Structure 1
């Protein structure tokens, strides 16, 4: 029976058919590695891709040909978790080198674009897919001394919202997760003052753990999700208020 606001002519989100293969970029460590492990417990065949050691495939996410080759060889992928990214240098905007700015945006923004563009056609053809991008609380708040990182992650949110709307009727759902500081190798080189500020602003008073973020991502990658796309999910220990 239809409820208020329902539309009997709207196509339900289909269930996945056949074996589900997931691509996790940045999958050699941190949130990516924790997510890969969590998705495997859900029965997915996971391919991790990273420039660091320990991944299933060595991949520069900004290299269109390399990404296309991986999708051709190991895909099509039913799930993409795009976790690859960099923090970049901590410095006031007026002291930030232009090449450092461009490098952060090349990896965080161009990489998201390149990988999403490569996997979307296969998902649309299958009529089912899940894409989760990794943004940051910095994208919403703008961390002082991190203009390159904050703006690059804000761009990831904008891309995610746009792509989610583009694919809303295809069975492919696209969402972002915006963590506060998480105890990962990527943050090991982050300015301690930046991390201290993040902890001070977090009501829980601590950094997140990769497995906590992975649990949220796993839900966003699952068939349990059906009516959410183009959304941003906070994982901030109470820091986010909007």
Structure 2
């Protein structure tokens, strides 16, 4: 890679860190973003994968790279990273008919730090040894992906012993939110199942902000004692292709 002082950056638990010096807090960070996209890239009928690497060199802005990982008879074979740009927001990634289609929001020169105003579609195709960018087009004005502002669905009408399991369909980058009332000292078990474990859990107390589960730790299940009586919001967060998931909650 072009940032590491070594010829390669070995990720440990999805991260690589390199300080500028022993006395410096600045340095290089490379990490896996929480995206997992699956599909056949090379036409061998085996399921390959796409991941996104985020590189933050020192105090610079983050750079995003798309990495295809081929399935060679069960052995992962990563290809060279393909740059998606800096300070982007990924709207969607898909593998229709063997092509890789990436929709991103990008910043125009005069955009404020919060809000990219332009969108692009990048289309890649596997060409024997590598992914090649074969098309880049402008899209309509940038917009936030996912149903981030949808009110959570209340799943239990009153606190106490309850159990519920249901199946839902979720799109890329989408968030499904559920809320329930739980009492201090109760035990709660929450589990989300999806075909590729690409739907993650977030659980947060609505009154005091207590975080029981965060997508940063890539959890798909949580079990424990409720610390405080309050409403808790449970979110199923899609980090891959549109998929079906099962959510089970027991108190």
* TM-score category (smaller protein): under 0.3
> Which structure is larger by alpha-carbon Rg, 1 or 2?
2
Q: Which of the two has greater helix per residue?
A: 1
Q: Which of the two has greater strand per residue?
A: 2
- Please give the TM-score of this superposition, normalised by the length of structure 1: 0.25
- Please give the TM-score of this superposition, normalised by the length of structure 2: 0.24
Higher relative CO (Cα under 8 Å, sequence separation at least 6) belongs to 1
